[in-house]
Amino acid sequence: MKKTVLTFGLFSAVTVTAMYVFMCLARQSEHFYVSEILIYAAVVLLFAMVFAGIKSYRDQAPRGWITFGEAFKVGILISLVSSLCYAILWIILYNSIFKEFMEQHAAALIEKLKASGATAREITAKKEEIIKHAQLYNNPLSRAGLIFIQGFPAEAIMAVIASFLLKRKQPRLE
């Protein structure tokens, strides 16, 4: 189980981190919409890694079957490894390369809001929300928590769904 969890968890974390790097680079250019596509692709990838990890473990099970509990354990551990490693990698990148991420992210959000025809009141409210979020992000501990929860809840839900779909009952002996 350990090998499956580490393989799929680490692969997921590295791949999602790479996608977020490309997202940040896209946000710095005129191709802002590409960054949104990459975010959704990253979520699909997280789901796929949890599903594939549970399936891999099930297919290698010496008994030939796996319970919901075993499948969920594998899925939730993959999710934990993936989210934890992603958080560590993103913190390293944020502190070294993407120090202006929050400012660029805020500017992109406001620009998108303006382009959608938002009122001055809506823009002001969004700016206040962004300032509060930026203050949280400036604290290293809350930043780590925010980064961790970006993917983990969705991966945990996928672990439940995949566990239900991939469980196999013990064959009956007759």
Q: Where are the domains of the chain?
A: 2-99+151-166
CA torsion angle for 6, 8, 14, 15 (degrees, to 10)?
Answer: 180
Q: For residue 168, give the DSSP letter.
A: B
Among 46, 20, 5, 28, smallest CA distance to 105 is for 28
**pLDDT value at residue 42:** 78
**pLDDT value at residue 162:** 93
Bridge partners, residue 59, by sequence: none
**pLDDT value at residue 174:** 54
Q: Tell me what percent of the residues of the chain surpass a pLDDT of 70.
A: 91
Mean pLDDT of 43-62: 87
**pLDDT value at residue 164:** 93
Mean pLDDT of 12-32: 74
**Taking 90 as the threshold, does the pLDDT of residue 28 lie above it?**
no
Q: Could you read off the pLDDT of 63-120 as tens digits, one per residue?
A: 778 889 999 999 999 999 988 888 888 888 888 877 777 777 777 778 878 888 888 8
Q: What values do phi and psi take at 66, rounded to 5?
A: -145, 140
* Contact by Cβ (8 Å): 151, 43: yes
Lowest-confidence segment of 17-26, 41-50, 121-130 by average pLDDT? 17-26
**pLDDT value at residue 79:** 92
